[in-house]
Amino acid sequence: MAPDNNSSEDCVTTEKNEELNTFAKNAGARVGLTSDEIIINGGRPLQGRIEVRGAKNLATKAMVAALLGKSASVLKNVPNISDVRTVAGLLALHGVLITRGEEPGEWRLDPTNVELAHKADIDAHAGSSRIPILFCGPLLHRLGEAFIPDLGGCRIGDRPIDFHLDALREFGAVIEKLPSGISLTAPNGLKGANIELPYPSVGATEQVLLTAVLAEGQTELKNAAIEPEITDLIAILQKMGAIISMEPNRVIFIEGVPELKGYRHRAIFDRNEAASWAAAALATEGDIFVGGARQEEMMTFLNVFRKVGGEFEVEDDGIRFYHPGGELKPVTIETDVHPGFMTDWQQPLVVALTKAPGVSTIHETVYENRFGFTDALNQMGADIVVHKDGIQDYKRRVARREFEQAAVISGPTTLTGAKVEVPDLRGGFSHLIAALTAEGQSTVTNVGIISRGYEDFIGKLRQLGADFIFEG
Ligand code: EPU
């Protein structure tokens, strides 16, 4: 059990005082990086073993869920990434006491003294993450009001929050838009609702779950997201005392309960990070054992990885990803909601596709603007054409969204070193891979963004034998 000791050296936050506010304000800062630039000498295969920890896209939501409990929660396998620190800072501002537990990555979150935070302090988090929008339901339940700062996250499209706000209104929330964020109240409490999402949005599904569990009555959510991270969040809420059933055809049914308790939970592994290292193994003609990765949540990725020419071996404690030799093969991919091919997997894999003889096509159906990273790859010698309105392709399954685009990658091309700037989290990782495979030296700047979602990626690159200079 985690020590309940405020004075411990391991204490992440203590009480709501000046020190805590300073922690909270700085929480969005980069994790463990003092330099924003890495110089990479390409051409060396990545080889060795690394570990992935809990998923960014679960751990941050699980931390918010702790707000709903009457008692403390313990979350294990929390990754040391800046998105987690941003959420910790915001929870701390609302009076949640966060202490480290016994094992690395174990956090204890005690919401006993949840209280309203000062708007000015919350404002310090504006633009640092998208998770604050998920505080709405829990804060309304706990305090009857909430203020949410302007959101951040990767600039990969408009990323509106209309599904979130529409759902909250269905529960009875009254929302006021302010110049620096949104303010919410629930004059008549929150009541169960029948909600159908226009698209199976991950965030909006989480919003409904985190609000419905304590709302009075029943909630039926249609067209819900069913990503493994959502299932893990449901498991957490069930541990807390919630009654939630996942039904066929993307329906989730929630019976509101009057009270929830804390949970003890080990966060599901980060399949996006695992897929990124797998792509790095393939592109660098290397061999990486990703400890903590599991087959079940990565089946769609593994199929594509094999079709491109990669090989993998599934073990009890992780998956070995490697380039078995021979030529890579082109593929057609359409990103999709689970169980489709995740949008977060395409960017790292594109680098390997630049080496495959023939034409690969990636249709991005989830975000409007997720091919920005290809400019840098072209600068390095790739041949990638982004078609703004998508293209017809006989291998496509469905036409998904109006604003979809396609990237057509013609290979094989040889990448050469260049100076490139990281545009967003996953695009940034693809820049690292490109630099690792390129002939000569590359300088990748703005790498701080990568620590939003990749724990100790510098240490892992070192472990895998990459040749680089990083003055951090
Ligand atoms: N959308 C709306 N209105 C809304 C909400 C979403 O139009 O109110 C649209 C979005 O603009 C987007 C699509 O719906 O075009 C899907 O968005 P979704 O809500 O599913 O995404 P999210 O919850 O904002 C999470 C992950 C993303 C991941 C997507 C899809 C977190 C913090 N982020 O975003 O992860 O790509 O689901 O799986 O969980 C990343 O890790 O790099 C990342 C961007």
Please state the atom number of ligand 1 nearest to the C-alpha of residue 159: 11
For ligand 1, the distance from its centroid to the CA atom of residue 457, given in whole angstroms, is 23
Ligand 1 centroid distance, CA of 299 (Å): 21
Per-residue DSSP letter, 133: G
Which residues are CB-contacts of 286 (< 8 A; sequence separation ≥ 6)?
Answer: 45, 46, 47, 280, 322, 323, 464
Q: What is the number of other CB atoms lying within 10 angstroms of the CB of residue 280?
A: 29
Going by alpha carbons, the residue nearest to atom 40 of ligand 1 is: 344
Q: What is the pLDDT of residue 467?
A: 98
Residue 370, helix vs strand vs coil: coil
Answer yes or no: do 204 and 167 share one domain.
yes
Q: Is the peptide bond before 339 cis (omega within 30 degrees of 0)?
A: yes
What confidence score (pLDDT) does residue 155 get? 61
Q: Please give all residues whose beta carbon lies within 6 A of any atom in ligand 1, as ranges.
A: 56-57, 130, 154, 157-164, 199, 201-204, 225, 272, 342-344, 366-367, 425-426, 453
CA angle 201, 203, 205 (to 5 degrees): 65
* Pair 92, 114 in one domain: yes
290 and 323: one domain?
yes
Q: Which residue has the tokens 């701080």?
A: 448
Residue 446 to residue 204: CA distance in whole angstroms: 30
Which residue minimizes the CA distance to atom 29 of ligand 1?
Answer: 202
Nearest CA, atom 16, ligand 1? 201
Residue 336, helix vs strand vs coil: coil
Cα 73 from Cα 2, distance rounded (Å): 10
Q: How many domains does the chain fold into?
A: 2
Q: Choose one of 60, 61, 169, 201 to mutate for the ligand 1 pocket test, by most ligand atoms within 8 angstroms of C-beta.
A: 201
Which atom of ligand 1 is nearest the CA belonging to 272? 41
Pocket-testing residue among 63, 202, 344, 405, ligand 1, by greatest number of atoms within 8 A of Cβ: 202
Chain centroid, CA 47 distance in Å: 25
Clarify whether residues 246 and 386 are in a common domain: no
Q: Which residues contact 174 (CB under 8 A, 6 or more apart)?
A: 184, 185, 186, 187
Tokens representing 188 are 């008549």
Between the CA of 252 and the centroid of ligand 1 the distance, in Å, is 19
Residue nearest to atom 2 of ligand 1 (CA): 160
Give pLDDT, residue 20: 41
Q: Residue 115: inside a domain, yes or no?
A: yes
Type of residue found at 306:
R
> What single-letter DSSP state applies at residue 262?
-
Residue with the smallest CA separation from ligand 1 atom 25 is 202
In angstroms, the CA 386 to CA 421 distance is: 19
Under 8 Å CB-to-CB from 103, ≥6 apart: which residues?
Answer: 76
Query: How much distance in Å is there from the Cα of 253 to the middle of ligand 1?
Result: 22
Ligand 1 center–CA 104 separation, angstroms: 29
The residue among 231, 266, 301 that closes a domain is 266
Among 57, 151, 197, 210, say which to mutate for ligand 1: greatest number of ligand atoms within 8 Å of CB: 57
Two tokens, residue 178: 């302010």
pTM to 2 decimals?
Answer: 0.93
Give the per-residue pLDDT at 2. 32
DSSP 298: G
Alpha carbon distance 139, 308 (integer Å): 46
Q: What is the pLDDT of residue 378?
A: 98
Tell me: do 92 and 157 sit in the same domain: yes
- 333 found inside a domain: yes
Any domain includes 381? yes
Nearest-atom number in ligand 1 for the CA of 225 is: 20
> Residue 357 C-alpha to ligand 1 middle, in angstroms?
33
- Are both 462 and 435 inside the same structural domain? yes
Query: Tell me, what's the pLDDT at 427?
Result: 96
How many other CB atoms are found less than 10 A from the CB of residue 227?
23
Pairing mode, strands 73-76 and 264-266: parallel
Per-residue pLDDT of the chain (472 residues; tens, 9 = 90+): 333 333 332 334 334 334 443 444 444 344 456 679 999 999 999 999 999 999 999 999 999 999 999 999 999 999 999 999 989 999 999 999 999 988 999 999 999 999 988 887 877 766 667 888 999 999 999 999 999 888 766 665 667 899 999 999 999 999 998 888 899 999 999 999 999 999 999 999 999 999 999 999 999 999 999 999 999 999 999 999 999 999 999 999 999 999 999 999 999 999 999 999 999 999 999 999 999 999 999 999 999 999 999 999 999 999 999 999 999 999 999 999 999 999 999 999 999 999 999 999 999 999 888 999 999 999 999 999 999 887 877 777 665 566 678 999 999 999 999 999 999 999 999 999 999 999 999 999 999 999 999 999 999 999 999 999 998 7
Residues 160 and 287 in one domain: no
Q: Rounded to an integer, what distance in angstroms lies between the CA atom of residue 96 and that of residue 108? A: 10
Domain containing 349 — which CATH number?
Answer: 3.65.10.10
Establish if 24 belongs to a structural domain: no
Catalytic residues: 154
**CA-to-CA distance for 367 and 160, rounded, in angstroms?**
11
Q: What is the DSSP string of 187-214?
A: TT--B--EEE-SS--HHHHHHHHHHHTT
Q: How far apart are CA 466 and CA 457, in angstroms?
A: 11
The dihedral built from the CA positions of residue 92, 96, 99 and 101, taken in this order, carries a sign that is: negative
For residue 372, the cross-strand partners are none
Phi first, then psi: give them for residue 112, nearest 5 degrees.
Answer: -55, -40
The number of residues in the chain equals 472
Do residue 44 and residue 161 come from a single domain?
no
Does 22 fall in a domain? no
pLDDT at 12: 41
Q: Are residues 378 and 408 in the same domain?
A: yes
Q: What is the CA angle 11-16-18, rounded to 5?
A: 90
For residues 354 and 91, what is the distance between their CA atoms, to the nearest angstrom? 43
How far, in Å, is the centroid of ligand 1 from the Cα of 151?
Answer: 12
- What whole-number distance in Å separates Cα of residue 65 and Cα of residue 261? 10
Q: Whose CA is nearest to atom 39 of ligand 1?
A: 57
CA of 61 to the centre of ligand 1 (A): 13
Q: Which residue has the tokens 């707000």?
A: 67
Instruction: Please report the atom of ligand 1 found closest to the CA of residue 153.
Output: 44
The residue from 249, 266, 283 where one domain ends is: 266
Position 403 scores a pLDDT of: 62
Same domain for 163 and 311, yes or no, is no
Atom of ligand 1 nearest to the CA of 164: 8
Q: Give the ligand 1 atom nearest the CA of 425.
A: 42
Residue 446 lies in a domain: yes
Give the end of a domain, one of 235, 266, 297: 266
Assigned domain for 26 exists = no
For the record, the structure tokens of 181 come out as 């964020």
The domain containing residue 226 runs over which residues?
54-266
Q: Which atom of ligand 1 is nearest to the CA of 156?
A: 44
The residues, ordered by sequence, that sit 6+ positions from 13 with a Cβ below 8 Å of its Cβ are 20, 23, 24, 88, 92, 96, 97, 98, 99
> 283 and 260, same structural domain?
no
How far is residue 167 CA from its own chain's centroid?
22
User: Is 106 inside any structural domain?
Assistant: yes
Q: Are residues 207 and 254 both part of a single domain? A: yes
Q: What is the pLDDT of residue 305?
A: 98
